[in-house]
Amino acid sequence: MTKSQTLLKKYFGYDNFRPGQEKIINHILDQKDCLGIMPTGAGKSICYQIPAMILPGVTIVISPLISLMKDQVDSLNQIGIPATFINSTLSHVEYSQTLENIIHNVYKIIYVAPERLTSEAFLNLLKLIDISMFTIDEAHCVSQWGHDFRPSYREIANVILNLKTRPIVTAFTATATKIVKDDIIDLLHLSDPFTLTTGFDRANLNFSVKIPENKNNFISEFIEKNKTNSGIIYCATRKNVDSLFDEISSLGYLVSKYHGGMSENLRSKNQDDFVYDRTNIMIATNAFGMGIDKSNIRYVIHYNMPKDLESYYQEAGRAGRDGNNSECILLFSRSDIVTNKFLIEQTPSEKGHKVEYDKLNDIIDYCNTDKCLRKYILEYFGEIPLFDNCNNCSNCLSTTEITDITIDSKKILSCIKRMHERFGSSLVTDVLKGSKSSKIKSMGFDKLSTYGIMSEYSKDTIKNLIYFLITEGYIECIGDKYPILVLNNSANDILFKNKQVLIKRKIEKISKSEKSSLGIFEDIDYDSSLFEILRALRKEIAEKNSIAPFIVFTDVSLKQMCTYYYYDIIFWWR
Ligand code: ADP
């Protein structure tokens, strides 16, 4: 057994390294700079924590995840690895005490927020200690092409340059695009680094894209079926988070929320509630989740389509870190395209927005493709999958039905025309639906021949059809604050030249996903009521020791206990 294998077992309790981990560790121990590009949940932390225990001096870990540093350090201390952190949450007294301990070589690993790196006191401290390795976690933050650029990451290279001896420099990220990778090597001055990109495939994740008539109804039904499971629901805006949170909590579920408009204290309380299993559901913007090591997240639902596949895969990848089957569901609606385009236009850019639009088009294609979703993602990240169909995504598990919507399209287009192309999608929808609102009557729209001609449809369906015609280029949405619908020339082909309009809908074949949405552990026989008892006991132990429940036992371990107990009873009975 090598020293690193012994430490893997001794500190973390694992028998084997995951793909890539040992290679990186060996290169670090050979004094080489390393860049590890591994998907979320692949196990990047162990790649630097184990060498940190073997190298003679201290390892400094730069991480942007201030709110999680305490948890990370607590978990390390819990398993006997001496570690600490320096960030803005420390009081003056705690800070001085920590510096004192650092000087006396108490720790092997020191987590530092990038903003602290350039403080005078810290730079002086670095001169006094023996640093073996500098590790940059979430290294994509150095690149403006990464989805989470942090200007303070640009200082890191200089700080390292000014150390009395250059330590080994290692960087880790889950972002694999070439432009970000080149930026990391370049801007962090990695010296001829050993670069390892592990496979991005996460076989335990079931990917699906759904276009529900009503997203809130879909979510209510889904969480009712997954009551005892932990899950994250990502929304594009704070407003969406607030309203969905109100709705779900009014239904009586244990739910937390998280977004940038909330106070630091409330955010960290809500994050803890979720991580410590006091609530099951987290409704959040993308401000939540980076670095969260909660291994039993069984589903990640995206209420809106994110801006690119990098963000999507990173956020969705927070599901199923323990290797158990988990679901990643993207709820697509065509209005998400309009919102994302609007957001792109809001950010000033001298070079234009080509990169952002290209990325947006890629994720739109992901939502519309008929091909295997897992294959699509892997190819996007530059891999050549060895399969055509994964048989575990919504496309592989469904067939496509093509519906002719020419007549519906004609109704919509002629209604917009009759309203003189001066109104937005809500009012057009109301007219088509035949709303009895006073606004419609006062404007005389109830006299139009198109009034109520789609009354058999729900408003959501009509709106989705309108968005479909927008994304197909027949209608244009003009204006920022109150966008109005205007017909494009191509609309005439439908109205006057009998052009056919076809829409694809997916019909689930059989229900692997339905099966998994009914219970994630469907494939193994185990005693589910015993599982609930053990879960409650785990929560109690975790609370007593102020640690997260998954640190006591992962869901996998609990499930194993329930399996053995179940078989014991069967054998005894026989
Ligand atoms: P990442 O930083 O790549 O998202 P983490 O380092 O947080 O992932 O690890 C994700 C989970 O995988 C953690 O719960 C960790 O304990 C677990 N893990 C890491 N390495 C192994 C291993 N060799 N065997 C089993 N589990 C592992």
Atom of ligand 1 nearest to the CA of 550: 14
pLDDT at 519: 38
Residue ranges, CATH 1.10.10.10, the chain: 407-508
Atom of ligand 1 nearest to the CA of 295: 14
3-state per-residue secondary structure call for 124-176: HHHHHCCEEEEEECCHHHHCCCCCCCCHHHHHHHHHHHCCCCCCEEEEEECCC
The torsion angles phi and psi of 83, rounded to 5 degrees, stand at: -140, 160
Tell me if 167 sits within 8 A of 133, measured CB to CB.
yes
Written as six digits, the tokens of 375 are: 């294959």
pLDDT at 390: 93
> What does DSSP say about strands 484-487 and 205-210: parallel, antiparallel, or unpaired?
unpaired
- C-alpha distances in angstroms, 384 versus 182, 202, 369? 21, 14, 18
Instruction: Render each residue's pLDDT in the chain as its tens digit; 574 residues.
Output: 899 999 999 999 888 998 899 999 999 999 999 999 998 778 899 999 999 999 999 999 999 877 778 888 988 998 999 999 998 888 999 999 999 999 999 999 999 999 888 888 888 889 899 999 999 999 999 987 766 778 889 999 999 999 989 999 999 998 767 888 999 999 999 999 999 988 788 889 999 999 888 899 999 999 999 988 999 999 999 999 999 999 999 999 999 999 999 998 999 899 999 998 899 999 999 999 876 778 889 999 999 999 999 889 989 999 998 888 999 999 998 788 888 888 888 877 767 788 888 889 899 989 988 889 999 999 888 788 888 999 999 999 987 778 899 999 999 999 999 999 999 999 999 999 999 999 999 999 999 999 999 999 988 889 888 988 987 889 988 876 678 999 999 999 999 998 999 987 766 654 444 444 333 334 456 677 788 888 888 888 888 887 778 778 877 788 778 777 655 444 444 3
Distance CA 78, CA 72 (A): 10
The torsion angles phi and psi of 487, rounded to 5 degrees, stand at: -80, 140
pLDDT at 214: 87
Answer CATH for 407-508 from 1.10.10.10, 1.10.3720.10, 2.30.30.30, 3.40.50.620: 1.10.10.10
**Ligand 1 mutation target, pool 21, 45, 50, 313, most atoms within 8 A of CB:** 45
Query: What is the CATH number that goes with domain 3-197?
Result: 3.40.50.300
Q: Provide the total of helices (H) and of strands (E) in the chain, helices listed first.
A: 24, 17
Give residue 65 CA to ligand 1 midpoint distance, Å: 17
**Ligand 1 mutation target, pool 5, 137, 293, most atoms within 8 A of CB:** 293
DSSP per residue, 331-387 = E--HHHHHHHHHHHHHS--TT-SHHHHHHHHHHHHHHH--S-HHHHHHHHTT---S-
Residue ranges, CATH 3.40.50.300, the chain: 3-197, 205-397
- Which residues sit with their C-beta closer than 6 Å to ligand 1? 14, 16-18, 21, 38, 40-46, 293, 295, 321
Assign a CATH topology to domain 205-397: Rossmann fold (3.40.50)
- Smallest CA separation from ligand 1 atom 6, residue: 43
What distance, in Å, lies between the first and last C-alpha atoms of the chain?
42
H-run or E-run covering 398:
strand 398-404
Partners of 257 in the β-ladder: 283
